Chains A and B, each alone.
Chain A
Amino acid sequence: MSAILRDMSLDVIVVGGGHAGIEAALAAARAGARVCMVTFERAGIGRMSCNPAIGGVAKGQIVREIDALGGAMGRLIDATGIQFRMLNRSKGAAVISPRAQADKDAYQKAAQALCEGTDGLTIVEGEAVELLVSGTAIAGIRLADGRQLHAPRVVLTTGTFLGGLLHYGEEKISGGRAGEKAAVGLSGQLRALGFRLGRLKTGTPPRLARESIDLSALQQQPGDEPAEPFSYMTGKLAVQQVPCWVTHTNTATHAVILENMARSPLYSGQIVGIGPRYCPSIEDKVKRFADKTSHHVFLEPETRDGDTIYPNGISTSMPRDVQDALVRTMRGLEQARIVKYGYAVEYDFVPPTQIDASMQTKLLRGLYLAGQINGTTGYEEAAAQGLMAGLNAARTLDSREPVVLRRDQAYIGVLIDDLTTRGTDEPYRMFTSLAEYRLRLRSDNADRRLTPLAGQLGIIEPARSRRLQAKLADYARAETLLISERVDGKRLFDWLRTPQFEWSTVLSRLPALSALDPEALQTLEIDARYAGYVEREDAEIARLHELEAVSVPRNLRYEDMTNLRKEAREKLAALQPLTLGQAARIPGIGPGDVSVLRVYLKTGVGVPVHG
């Protein structure tokens, strides 16, 4: 063991330096823990292994929430973004989501610098090959070179590295990403410890040399002016934006794919893992939507200088010669040169009903899982889990309550509840349709929803709390002004939700408003538009809160609760819900079962505890 490691007294070890790992390490450090991030190579921290973009529908809301909780993703993308757009601008405020293209190299450097500059966070380069276990609790990890790291909390964020297998057509290579080795030891040990493992698959498109593409022939897609930032702390975003371009697949492209379908590992039976339904490979799209003769392909620069282009929409695991051929069928890409071939990657995941709502595994105390290891796809979903896992790993060190966000509070709450209560057997990605209380979980109000909580937890900088307080004060001032001022006998406030409403006319009438925070005015306007609709959810939410407030002890002997249906007993015993609310959401548990369980909990009669 090296001297450095022997001297290190650690609270939390984070295995992995991807988007989950970064947030986990930073959140644990913010919560006061001494943290060590273990990663193959320092320079790989924050790598965007697939598309060079952050945000998107529902995902953008998650990034805003991460930011409201003091996480890094929003600030990193604001600092390194090269094109910013608001998606769904023509739809209502609840579904408007920010998305940005990143300079992926700059993003990586910024992420690395942030981790290196964080007090209490050490970075160790190495491969974690074994979990150190003491009884039913985690004790640390062993690295491939024999070094051991000891800590009472370990957060695993292995991404696609756990038993990773890359497919390029008929060719199979062990690896977590192109040119990077896989983590092979951990899967077997997890199985031996009693974890169930599943197999998932994801893929990435080939990268193209920009100088080989005829961009002049293609439609440009510019960013929004002015660019709107992700972070509530960024203020105005002064950024020189770059455009993306759009091309399309055509019948010639589809013919190339169909001719070579037998060589696709997806269809030859070589790949067994389940892929993401909503982000299919181009082989899948051609096969499944046979009637469509064309699909969009967005050409996105991977960096500001733009030497390489990410063709969004043609993720593929076809053999290399087929990739060359299919790319060159498309307009503008006739001479395109592939600099890095697309591939599919299969990897192990731990079906997430094996963790509880705090992200801790039920089998091994102190072990937390976050990101793709839990069956999700996407940087944002991974980062959100990392933040919660790191935060809770640190909080439970001194027996503080873990933080669990509710479904009416945050997309992060929806995400983690879906994973831990329902599980998933395909790569899980967030959609606005997964949130029952979408009208509340907006991009504009994530700070109002989560920053006060983060303040209480002591995990954010004071400036962030002050920023929110100032915004809320402006909100209240604006509301008062709009309520007292009348036009045509109607309060200006009531005009807010009408189509005729224009801020410009109101500002000329009430100049005092122009001194107020525009973000506060925006949230006020959206609140007014949704007034009445949001309240309709109140009764449901009150019931949700009431059920969530009833905590369910661990290790209940459900098998002895003879008044519960047998199926209910089995389901509850398997999932071990933490609250009555979570119990109610388990598929197959009916309202009657919840009433029976509630009576057991209330009376304490028949609530025997193991041991």
Chain B
Amino acid sequence: MVARETASTIFALATPASASAAALLRIAGSQARVLAQKFCGSDWKRRCVQGSIRLPIGTVPCIAWLMPAPHTLTGRDTLEILVPGNVEIVRDLERLLRECGCHDAEPGAFTRLAVEAGKLSLAQAEATLALVTSSDEVSRRRALADLGGESARRLTDLAARLRTLSARYEMSFDFSEEEHALAQEDRLSGDLRALLADLRAFVGREGSQPRREFPSVALFGPPNAGKSSLFNALVGQRRALVSATPGTTRDAIEADAVFDGCACKLLDLSGVGAGDADLGRYAPQARQRALAADVLLVLCAPGQAADCAHEFTALTRQDAALRSRALWVQTMSDLAAQEANPCGLPQYAVSAASGQGLAALREQLGVRLGELATGGSTSLLRLNATAALTMLEVAAADPLAPTEAVAADVRRALTLLDQALLNDAPGDVLDLIFSRFCIGK
């Protein structure tokens, strides 16, 4: 990013590079006007003009829009050209643009220019990325909120409160003689806790963990607990083999599924425990995947409660926190009365055959996945908000922390929020963000 030249002109194809009725090229920079002149003559009183471009193959008709600086996305002169969407024509046109001194836009280049020109906040730029790459409804909803600046506004409010709090801490040291009520230590720590709760809510709701893939929902249980039937019912199509022979599901079968707008990877794990036809050959893998799952469904057919409880308890010995991620699902609820589960997990009774209880389970999965908050992007806004939260939580949780040390953490947390909100991220962070744009330049 060092060789950023302010004078250079960049271009990119804005439509898919395949045969289509029309292809749109976007050009930003000082050459835009020159090219507009070249293709469409001098009549630029109107913004949209028909013209023609001489390419090796012949003269190609085009429609062009010239948007003069500074009121454009990038803050520079911008030209958009519509030509017939033939791959060869587009290739020739791109070659011509290079000959005219334009450069191929790097991923994210237009958006980066927009950020640098102050036309777009960093949060909005990231939202653009999140929006074009999002594959589920929740991510799209969040990205739209970010794009509209809603998340930034909320975080701005939190930052403003943190700034006031920081000023009060500073006042308590630098103007201690004044003995101002706002600077009293107990009021400061009380207000810090209140602010922490709101910041936690922001981070929790907005999602903070950068995720590289969808969260996983694993179906776990003894052979013939009804895992594959439930799997198919949840996916909505016959993806897994469903068989009456125990152990048909050899290792694990995956499918993408969506619950209440939240995408996830649904895993049908191999059966574990009693009655395993493969003598536990796949059980170790199944247990490992169960431990790694974001949501674990412990499936239990009538009469299997003891086996299921035994297996689940064994897992919790490796990871006690698994309990908070697990749901107890009694299958074949149309065949038998519901039994209480011995592990005390939240319990759902379903029948894949009749569809009974499926809606409630789907709804719960939506809630659980929503809490996991995929977000689909490593947004600086959220990363920094999370880092600030962690910093403040550590400071607030230490009863021995001297006030001036807490005040120092408050200042650092504020710097993190300001960096995210004022587009003042370190250069390497910016490069990381913009390098992740591969489409929608």
Chain A interface residues (CB < 8 Å from chain B):
57-58, 87-88, 90-95, 296, 431-433, 436, 438-439, 497-499, 529-530, 533, 536-537, 562-563, 565-566, 590-592, 594-596, 599
**A533-B170 contact in complex given A87-B177, A562-B5, A599-B2, C-beta closer than 8 Å:** no
Determine the residue in chain B with the shortest Cβ distance to A529.
B402
**Complex alpha-carbon distance, A95 and B173, angstroms:** 6
**Complex alpha-carbon distance, A1 and B2, angstroms:** 60
Q: Are A432 and B1 in contact (CB under 8 A)?
A: no
Please pick, from B3, B176, B401, the residue contacting A91 in the complex, using a CB distance under 8 A: B176
Determine the residue in chain A with the shortest Cβ distance to B425.
A591
**13 contacting pairs across A/B (C-beta < 8 A):** A57-B176, A91-B403, A94-B402, A95-B176, A432-B173, A497-B400, A529-B400, A529-B402, A533-B401, A533-B408, A563-B2, A566-B6, A592-B427
**A439-B400 contact in complex given A57-B173, A431-B170, A563-B3, C-beta closer than 8 Å:** no
In the bound complex, residues from chain B placing their C-beta under 8 Å from that of A529 are 400, 402
Q: Are A530 and B405 in contact (CB under 8 A)?
A: yes
In the bound complex, residues from chain B placing their C-beta under 8 Å from that of A433 are 170, 173-174
Total CB contacts across the A-B interface at under 8 A:
84
**Complex alpha-carbon distance, A87 and B170, angstroms:** 15
**Complex alpha-carbon distance, A58 and B409, angstroms:** 20
B426 at the interface (CB under 8 A from A): yes
Q: Are B176 and A439 in contact (CB under 8 A)?
A: no
**Complex alpha-carbon distance, A431 and B411, angstroms:** 15
B195 at the interface (CB under 8 A from A): no
In the bound complex, residues from chain A placing their C-beta under 8 Å from that of B173 are 57, 88, 91, 95, 432-433
B278 at the interface (CB under 8 A from A): no
Q: Are A591 and B170 in contact (CB under 8 A)?
A: no
In the bound complex, residues from chain B placing their C-beta under 8 Å from that of A592 are 1, 427, 430
**A591-B426 contact in complex given A91-B173, A91-B404, C-beta closer than 8 Å:** yes
B317 at the interface (CB under 8 A from A): no
Name B79-127 residues within 8 Å CB distance of A. Answer: 116
Q: How far is the CB of B411 from chain A (nearest CB, A)?
A: 8
B424 at the interface (CB under 8 A from A): yes
> 19 other contacts beyond A433-B170, A536-B408, with CB at 8 A cut-off?
A88-B173, A90-B176, A91-B172, A91-B404, A92-B402, A94-B404, A438-B404, A439-B405, A529-B402, A530-B405, A533-B402, A533-B408, A536-B412, A563-B4, A565-B6, A565-B116, A591-B425, A591-B426, A592-B1
Chain B interface residues (CB < 8 Å from chain A):
1-7, 116, 170, 172-177, 400-405, 408-409, 411-412, 424-427, 430
In the bound complex, residues from chain A placing their C-beta under 8 Å from that of B4 are 563, 596
Q: How far is the CB of B93 from chain A (nearest CB, A)?
A: 29
Q: Are A594 and B427 in contact (CB under 8 A)?
A: yes
In the bound complex, residues from chain B placing their C-beta under 8 Å from that of A94 are 402, 404
Q: Are B403 and A595 in contact (CB under 8 A)?
A: no
**Complex alpha-carbon distance, A22 and B409, angstroms:** 39
**Complex alpha-carbon distance, A593 and B400, angstroms:** 41
**Complex alpha-carbon distance, A594 and B411, angstroms:** 23
**Complex alpha-carbon distance, A55 and B178, angstroms:** 17
Instruction: Please name the 4 residue pairs, one residue from A and one from B, whose CB atoms are nearest each other, closest first.
Output: A433-B170, A533-B405, A95-B173, A92-B404
Q: How far is the CB of B184 from chain A (nearest CB, A)?
A: 11
Please pick, from A432, A436, A439, A599, the residue contacting B174 in the complex, using a CB distance under 8 A: A432
Q: How far is the CB of B169 from chain A (nearest CB, A)?
A: 8
In the bound complex, residues from chain B placing their C-beta under 8 Å from that of A436 are 411
Of the candidates B3, B177, B405, B411, the one having the most CB atoms from chain A within 10 angstroms of its own CB is: B405
Q: How far is the CB of A280 from chain B (nearest CB, A)?
A: 13
**A87-B430 contact in complex given A533-B408, A563-B5, C-beta closer than 8 Å:** no
Q: How far is the CB of A217 from chain B (nearest CB, A)?
A: 22
